[in-house]
Amino acid sequence: MQRKVKHYHGDRQEEGGWGWLVVLHCHVMFLLIVGLTGSFGVLVVRLVEYFDEDVGDVSWIPSLSTAVQLFISPVAGALSKRHGTRPVVVAGALISSIGWIMSTFATSVLFLCISFGFLTGIGYGLAYVPSVAMIGEYFERRHALANSIAYVGSGIGLIALPPFLQVVMDTYGWRGTFFIAGAINLNMIASSVLLRPLNRKLDDKDTSTVCNSGGPGKQGNYFTLYLNKIEKYIDFSLFYNNGLFTLMAVAMTLNAFGYYTMTVHFIPNAVYLGIPKLRAAFLQTVIGIFSLIGRLTHGCFVGSIDLLKPARVYLGSTAVCGIACLLTPTADNYVTLALCAALIGLSSGMFMPLISVVMKDFVGIEQLSHALGLSFLLMGVGDCMGPPIAGLLYDATNSYTLSFTIAGAALLASSCLLLFEIPVRNRRDSIYQKVSLSSSVTEGERLSGWDTVSVNIIYFKDDMVSRGPVTEL
């Protein structure tokens, strides 16, 4: 028995149009995900007191949530390609809300690690990558601008939600805070309706067949078929075929280690210095205000001149954030802490929206979903390690000095890695010239990949992409 396999070929739309409504959904999604998870520092202090646990133990709760969110990113990208973006994002919004609400009934830190850490993390992971990747499908020339508008939601969430949740917690306790946060999170389901895919043309060619007859023993190796499907939707070859992707993925891992350590422990550090809890929560609002400024303004100048290419702005803003983290332990009053928070917010407001823009420049639109999923998987390692290590260092030293020093060093290391972008790109271009001379490569062809094993040529013609192996060098 033969089964027809339907192939879809997308038509690129003009810039804008329905894409701006996709940007609106992403704006709401970032407001909820970044705003709510960024406010968890407000809950850390109360949970440490209630469960009488160490800061290092409680820090596992938000760390697991963000790590699981990033670990599941490749799966989210695969599911969105298989079932469509909208169903996957709706499922993610529902699962994450269930995780928030289940946390209301927590009896231990372990319970919260499962309900908030795993459930909410899985939900946010399913919602994040497919939504961000869809912006790249609708926008080419104005991709950075569209991303900056979408990421403005993160700044608004960080401005409004930390003090709001602090007031809610003072009124209804931490259990009521989890429940109300879960109810707010359900708004992501409504915004997901805006995720309309690009128009598709159906090609009903019978390009492959599946044999389903002849008994169980003749149906083929289903395990092999399953692995082939995984390879189809999760392209692990990016790690050894594209040096720029590998460079960016490692840089993002170090970035996640440093940045999320700072996010989780910035408010507890202020409380440790004797600042009242509500005023400490407003420091997260300061981060949000300046993050909003960075997100609103960077799209206007990124790419305007060669010096301000996305990768270079990402490099510079990450370095500034690392320096601010290093200066945080020296701040001994509210004003100096607010200045550090402003620097952290402004710099993170620039480099966070540029992640997908830089990645798109490094791998191309066809591989963007795969690249984001795999790089977020590595970021999950940094997110999972950073806050607990910082908490353990605080428990051991009774000070956040060493924790913020390590976080700042990780951010600076992430920035320094991107200094190798130009040598890697130049090496790639030199190989391209050799291949062009030896293989008579046409003007419209472009090289992507490492030079150590083999080279792949991507042929761009009317936005239709195909790949073909080229002679080993």
Instruction: For 51-69, write each residue's pLDDT tens digit.
Output: 888 887 888 888 888 888 8
- The residue count of the chain comes to 473
- Check: CB of residue 43 under 8 Å from CB of residue 277: no
Rounded to whole angstroms, the Cα distance separating 210 from 40 reads 50
* End-to-end CA gap in the chain: 44
- Check: CB of residue 126 under 8 Å from CB of residue 76: yes
Q: What is the pTM of this model?
A: 0.65
Alpha helices for 19-142 (secondary structure H) = 19-38, 40-51, 55-58, 60-71, 73-83, 85-102, 109-112, 121-138
Q: Which residue has the tokens 């092999």?
A: 224
How many CA atoms, within 13 angstroms, populate the side-chain half-sphere of residue 290?
Answer: 19
Residue % of the chain over a pLDDT of 90: 20
Stretch (H or E) spanning 113: none
Give the pLDDT score at 322: 93
Q: What is the mean pLDDT of residues 215-225?
A: 45
Rounded to whole angstroms, the Cα distance separating 103 from 99 reads 6
- Check: CB of residue 218 under 8 Å from CB of residue 1: no
Rounded to whole angstroms, the Cα distance separating 289 from 154 reads 10
CA 309, distance to chain mean position in Å, is 20
Rounded to whole angstroms, the Cα distance separating 267 from 264 reads 7
Q: In this structure, how many other beta carbons lie within 10 angstroms of the beta carbon of residue 323?
A: 17
Rounded to whole angstroms, the Cα distance separating 123 from 125 reads 5
Model confidence at 87: pLDDT above 80: yes
CATH 1.20.1250.20 in the chain, residue ranges: 7-196+232-421
- Check: CB of residue 37 under 8 Å from CB of residue 124: yes
Rounded to whole angstroms, the Cα distance separating 88 from 92 reads 6
pLDDT digits (tens, 9 = 90+) for 321-340: 999 999 998 888 899 999 99
- Check: CB of residue 189 under 8 Å from CB of residue 90: yes
- Which of helix, strand or coil describes residue 198? coil
Rounded to whole angstroms, the Cα distance separating 237 from 234 reads 9
Q: Which residue has the tokens 């492959």?
A: 208
Q: Which two tokens stand for residue 207?
A: 């390009």
CA-closest candidate to residue 41, choices 223, 263, 191, 207: 263
For residue 200, what are the CA distances in angstroms to 6, 8, 454? 12, 6, 33
Model confidence at 302: pLDDT above 80: no
Give me the sheet containing 464-470, strands edge to edge.
445-448, 455-461, 464-470
- Check: CB of residue 147 under 8 Å from CB of residue 353: yes
- Check: CB of residue 163 under 8 Å from CB of residue 39: no
Looking at 24-33, 130-139, 435-444, which range is the least confident one?
Answer: 435-444
Looking at 110-124, 180-194, 252-266, which range is the least confident one?
Answer: 252-266
Rounded to whole angstroms, the Cα distance separating 118 from 115 reads 6
For the 7-196+232-421 domain, the top CATH level (class) is: mainly alpha
Q: Using alpha carbons only, what angle is made at residue 153 by residues 152 and 155, rounded to the nearest 5 degrees?
A: 65
Q: What is the mean pLDDT of residues 225-241?
A: 61
DSSP lists the bridge partners of residue 470 as 455
Model confidence at 472: pLDDT above 70: no
**pLDDT classification of 406: cutoffs 50, 70, 90:** very high
Residue % of the chain over a pLDDT of 70: 75
How many CA atoms, within 13 angstroms, populate the side-chain half-sphere of residue 90?
Answer: 11
Give the pLDDT score at 453: 36
Model confidence at 204: pLDDT above 60: no
